[in-house]
A and B are shown apart, each in its own frame.
Chain A
Amino acid sequence: MAPNVYSEKKRILIADDSPINREILMDILGNGFDYVEAFDGVEATEILENENEEISLVLLDINMPRADGFEVLEAMNKNRWIDDTPVIIISAAQDVDFAERAYNLGVTDYISRPFDVHIVRRRVQNTLMLYEKQRRLLGLVGEQVREVQKTASMMINILSHIVEFQNEESGPHIQHIRVITELFLKALGQIYPEYKFTQEDINLIGTASALHDIGKITIPTSILNKPGRLTPEEFAVMKTHSAAGAAMLDALPLYKDEPLVKLGYQICRWHHERYDGRGYPDGLKGDDIPIAAQVVSLADVYDALTSERAYKKAFSHEKAIEMIKNGECGTFNPRLIYMLDSVADELYSRLNGAPENELDDDMRKLTAEILQKNDITYTGRTAAILEKERKKYTFFTSVSSDVMFELSYKPYILTFLNDAHKRIGAKHTLVSDPLDSDELIQCCGKDKLQDIATLLAKSTPGNPIIAYEGEINIDGGKHLCKLVAQSLWTDSSKPEMTGAIGKIFIIE
């Protein structure tokens, strides 16, 4: 038989103190899944702690010894396992007050006793499908972030290369500084937890590192490209490049407060400062030198040592590390020196070996961070990324009193967010085949559903937003409402509509 990449079974954690109930559930769901069983809440939490990434779904009983289902849910929230691992609670139908509390803790659905084979299977399938879809959406957004970020850093690289062109030494310096800077920051954060760099910080500083020498555009090429040593007068001119670069960034009235530009300012101005205060232009000492500048400074020195220049040949990796440790290039933060020692091997292989495949991992982390941030006023990324992301997330994060929903075409499912299904009288958050759903027809009538579907079908990737007004049954009465939705498309050359996100709000 041909190997099948999809053959790996999904793993379901069943936490229920009754062995019979666990066995019935496994029997109903059949051998298409792998199962892990937990007898109580403590055991369930331990299993999640060890293998939450392998678990695709949790079926959770509420009444359990030692720790109950709510305690498990709280742990899942605290550790953010609930973001990737959906939970279905098992409860008797009469325990509705439980259900409310469980939904607030992020539960996706419930299975009530007595178990019904069809219902159990359907709930489990729906939940797995929904999460699959979310994961795909996450991948899609990641793709988009990656694209925009690539463009942004490409622009910065082009600008920086203009400087380097004039500088002749050029080469892959800019790219190196960025790779080294990001590597250093990551290692520094791992060794010293007090440096709390998020993946986003690391990317930003990495991008900003490309700007470190832009001030060189103001230096006469006769000095910049002079073979051999500079005279003290020439060196004095050369040294003005750091303050000059910072001044250029400071003169950008529109972008001055962007984190990228602020970091760029620090890096430009202080990447030739030294920890003992003997650098330039300000003679800053110790941790008065912003950490971004300290790191880029070390990266710059290492890359300069290991590169060939008009006045010197390249030193070996080992020799460069040794020279830095001996203080031959000035004094650095001892923590940075310790960090350098610990990443020396990785540094060498990153710059000389195969292209890094960690990039994907970084992008995934970054995307997850962006998705976790529900604050749309956040301006952590460049303006371009923000603009693009804002469009998407405003839908999810703006006025929470709106009925928000997500529509997918394959499978054809409408999902209400934030329990909004209750407001329009639907029983579940998931509505399959929405056009034929009695609940939705009850709510707004078949013709309105059809109209909205037609509007959506007519939307395009360039013009994805549709709006519709009409009377619908909501909050137990007829109200004039507005529906706004945005269609979602694949990124391919022939974009395909994958679904839509949208909201409904009362306008009278």
Chain B
Amino acid sequence: MTVRQLYDKVGGDYENTLARFLTEERMVRFALKFPADQSYALLKNSLESGDMKEAFRGAHTLKGVCQNLGFTALYEPAHRVTEDLRAGNQVKEEDLRELEERYKELLDALRAFGESNA
């Protein structure tokens, strides 16, 4: 699988990310670190325990990381969730569902990519 194929598969912005990162090597190196990022877990757990301040921080960090790595499809729901939390609004169910789906897709795709290029 090529890096472009990976980004296409997960709804990422290959062109723009490459332009910012200059090399595919750097893109891949950091994309593969994404599964270890704790911000999604922080968001989920904090929402469950009702800690809205930490939930916001989780969503905000997740949004920032996605933005940096060019994972647009995941960035979008993360952005909406962040803004709702920032404004103190109820987070929308459909946003959370979309977030979870995109997140799982992304992890699967990264795993497949990692295996195919091992």
| Residue positions of A touching B, CB distance < 8 A | 17-21, 23-24, 27, 63-65, 92, 113-118
Assess the A24–B39 pair: CB atoms within 8 A. no
The CA of A114 and the CA of B70, in the complex, are separated in Å by 8
Assess the B65–A18 pair: CB atoms within 8 A. yes
- How many A-B residue pairs lie within 8 Å, measured between CB atoms? 56
Known: A117-B20, A117-B21. A21 touches B57 (CB 8 A): no
| Residue positions of B touching A, CB distance < 8 A | 16-17, 19-22, 26, 29-30, 33-34, 36-37, 39, 54, 56-57, 60-61, 63-65, 67-70
Which residues of A lie under 8 Å from residue B63 when comparing CB positions? Answer: 92
Assess the B39–A117 pair: CB atoms within 8 A. no
A-B CB contact pairs (8 Å), 12 listed: A19-B36, A19-B37, A20-B65, A21-B64, A27-B30, A64-B57, A65-B54, A92-B63, A113-B68, A114-B17, A114-B67, A117-B20
The CA of A113 and the CA of B17, in the complex, are separated in Å by 12
Known: A63-B57, A63-B61. A20 touches B22 (CB 8 A): no
Choose among B56, B68, B70 the residue that contacts A21 (Cβ–Cβ < 8 A): B68
Q: Chain B contact residues: over half helix, strand or loop, or mixed?
A: helix
Which residues of A lie under 8 Å from residue B16 when comparing CB positions? Answer: 114
Which residues of B lie under 8 Å from residue A64 when comparing CB positions? Answer: 57
The CA of A65 and the CA of B53, in the complex, are separated in Å by 9
Give chain B nearest CB distance to A243 CB in angstroms. Answer: 71
Assess the B20–A27 pair: CB atoms within 8 A. no
Assess the A117–B67 pair: CB atoms within 8 A. no
Q: Chain A contact residues: over half helix, strand or loop, or mixed?
A: mixed
Assess the B64–A18 pair: CB atoms within 8 A. yes
The CA of A20 and the CA of B63, in the complex, are separated in Å by 12
The CA of A242 and the CA of B66, in the complex, are separated in Å by 78
| 5 A-B pairs closest in CB distance | A116-B20, A114-B67, A113-B67, A18-B61, A114-B68
Give chain B nearest CB distance to A116 CB in angstroms. Answer: 4
Assess the B33–A23 pair: CB atoms within 8 A. yes
The CA of A114 and the CA of B18, in the complex, are separated in Å by 12
Specify the chain B residue showing the minimal Cβ separation from A119: B20
The CA of A231 and the CA of B56, in the complex, are separated in Å by 89
Which residues of B lie under 8 Å from residue A23 when comparing CB positions? Answer: 30, 33
Assess the B20–A114 pair: CB atoms within 8 A. yes
Assess the A63–B30 pair: CB atoms within 8 A. no
Give chain A nearest CB distance to B34 CB in angstroms. Answer: 7
Assess the B30–A20 pair: CB atoms within 8 A. yes
Which residues of B lie under 8 Å from residue A117 when comparing CB positions? Answer: 20-22, 26
The CA of A392 and the CA of B29, in the complex, are separated in Å by 51
Which residues of B lie under 8 Å from residue A17 when comparing CB positions? Answer: 57, 61
